[in-house]
Amino acid sequence: MMLLTERLKKISVFAYILLALLAFNLVFNLNSAWYGISLIVRIYVYVFCFYLVFSFSTFTAADKNIVPGTGVRFPGKAALFVQARVIPFLIIFCVILVYILIENVNRTGWPLNALVKILYGRHLNLIVYSLFLLYVLKMRKAPYITIPVFLLLCVAYFYVTMFIDSAVQGGAGVQLVMYIKFVLFFFLLFAEFYGPKGIVRLVVSACIVSILLYAIFIGAFLVIYRITADDSYQKKQAGIQFLRMGFRFPFAQLSGAVLRTSDDKLFRELLRYARDYHMEFTYSDSDWKRLLFSGSADMADRVAEYLLHRNIGLTYDEIMAYAEARSMEPVGNLSNAVYFSRMASRLIAGNENDFLRRMGASNKQFTLWAIAVLGEQKDVRFIPVLIGYLPDIDTKLAEAAYLSLSNITGLDPREKLNRRLNDPDVLYAFKEFYLQTRKGR
């Protein structure tokens, strides 16, 4: 290991600075929530890892004799490969692991929350970028060539990965993509050791090591899923990852977690996988009601989307009570709850007078939502009410009324006439539609 020791001594100053920064970051994160220090340390982590790769890039599997400027002889080819290639990348992984542990030290569920983020690939792109840097440095070209090539590889990898992840979002395809990434990484890392004549052994070695790493990945998620509390962040994230990879066993447990915690983000994920894998929630009607009315307007909207074609015995009074309560929230999102508005529109029949009374006497958020509900109702009787909001000085109310009127009538006079939505000609177009429709009856 003399070769490794000799090279590490040359970067010892950078390592000591890194250790000092990590220690300072740990102390700071234990006493503050500001992310600025972590960002500075993260930048230095990139600098250190790239310099580490640069330091070891001068050694190749074909080199012989002694290390330049030292009396240290090169070890055998396999030992040289381990010291000059494998260990530096293990050091990079360990640095990333320590950084993420420190970055999340003040979060609930530490250290498992940090390990989950590692398993999700947080900051692990740095390992791939370091591999790109190694290959670019081995080109031994001028900086005006190597720097653009390195940046191009990193940017290309980022966008290709983003495209693949958006195209393959669930099922066995996720597992296949992950395994192929492992194989390609180890293929490029081992290529120098095997050389052009050992292509078969190179592919076999890359596949075997990738299988082992993939098994460790699955095993780590499974351990986290089994040992953590039912409603914990770690269990939810591990379960979602298994669903993403095509495993269905966490669905029932995560469904129970949604019912207990009204977790909007978790329910959104489960809705997607329920559609993709043709699975059904096993909630009773009372469970659905509790879920619909227990959370935020966003949660109610997602539940309503799932329940639009189901009858769970909702009443007009229940919908109104929930809507009025949510409209009081200063940062609520009731007016944008499209599916909840659509569900409410089905319960207005027979309660029109009460609904209009509430609409005129309530706060702005409720009025915006009520306008959207009338648009979903698509009843021409409400056109005069909606027209009354078009000249309103509140542009949000006027815009919401216009959208509802367009939804009811199918007209878009603002676009057709190239006028403002409160222009008299726009109002006249809707009024004319209303009058003609009433005459036709």
pLDDT band at 60 (very low <50, low <70, confident <90, very high): low
Q: What's the pLDDT score for residue 439? A: 67
pLDDT value of position 18: 94
- Taken as a whole, the chain contains a residue count of 441
Q: What is the pTM of this model?
A: 0.78
Of 304, 248, 302, give the one whose Cα is nearest residue 276: 248
The pLDDT value recorded for residue 72 is 46
Q: List strand residue ranges (DSSP E) for 46-108, in order.
A: none
Quick one: CA torsion of 232, 234, 236, 241, rounded to 10 degrees?
Answer: -170
- Of the candidates 201, 210, 157, 149, which has an alpha carbon nearest to the alpha carbon of residue 179? 210
Q: Chain centroid to CA 320: how far?
A: 33
Selection from 137, 122, 116, 127 nearest residue 54 by Cα: 137
What Å distances lie between residue 389 and 155, 269, 393, CA to CA? Answer: 49, 37, 9
The helix/strand count (H/E) of the chain reads as 23, 0
Nearest to 92 by CA among 155, 195, 185: 185
pLDDT of residue 136: 92
Cα distance between residue 128 and residue 139, in whole Å:
17
- Say if residue 148 is preceded by a cis peptide, omega within 30 of 0: no
Q: Which amino acid is at 122?
A: R
Q: Cα separation of 173 and 178, whole Å?
A: 9
Cβ atoms of 202 and 194 closer than 8 Å: yes
pLDDT band of 1, cuts 50, 70, 90: low
What confidence category does residue 205 fall into, taking pLDDT thresholds of 50, 70 and 90? very high
Domain assignments of the chain as residue spans, ordered by start: 2-108+121-167, 259-440
Q: Which residues pair with 96 in a beta bridge?
A: none
CB 352 within 8 A of CB 359: no
**CA–CA separation, 260 and 254 (whole Å):** 10
pLDDT single digits (tens) 261-293: 888 889 989 999 998 888 889 888 889 998 888
Query: Quick one: which H or E segment has residue 192?
Result: helix 172-194
Question: Which pLDDT value is given to residue 69?
Answer: 47
- Spell out the residues 6+ positions from residue 410 whose beta carbon is closer than 8 angstroms to its own: none
SS3 225: helix
180-192 pLDDT, tens digit per residue, is: 999 999 999 988 8
* DSSP symbols for 92-106: HHHHHHHHHHHHTTT
Phi, psi for residue 392 in degrees, rounded to 5: -60, 145
Dihedral (Cα; 196, 200, 203, 204), 10-degree rounding? -140
- Quick check: 74 pLDDT over 60? no
β-partners of residue 73 are 66
pLDDT tier at 80, thresholds 50, 70, 90: confident
Q: Output phi, psi for 165, to 5 deg.
A: -65, -35
Least confident of 54-58, 194-198, 224-228, 339-343: 194-198
Instruction: Say what the pLDDT of residue 30 is.
Output: 87
When pLDDT is averaged across residues 111-123 and rounded to a whole number, the result is 87
Does residue 68 register a pLDDT over 50? no
Contact 372, 348 (CB under 8 A): no
- Ranking 79-83, 158-162, 234-238, 382-386 by mean pLDDT, the lowest is 79-83
The tokens of 426 are what? 């726009």
Q: What is the dihedral of CA 157, 158, 160, 166, to 10 degrees?
A: 150
Phi, psi torsion values for 73, nearest 5 degrees = -85, 150
Written as one letter, the residue type at 220 is A
Give the burial class of 26: count Cβ atoms within 10 A of its Cβ; 0-12 exposed, 13-18 middle, 19 or more buried: middle
The residue among 433, 427, 323 whose CA lies nearest residue 367 is: 323
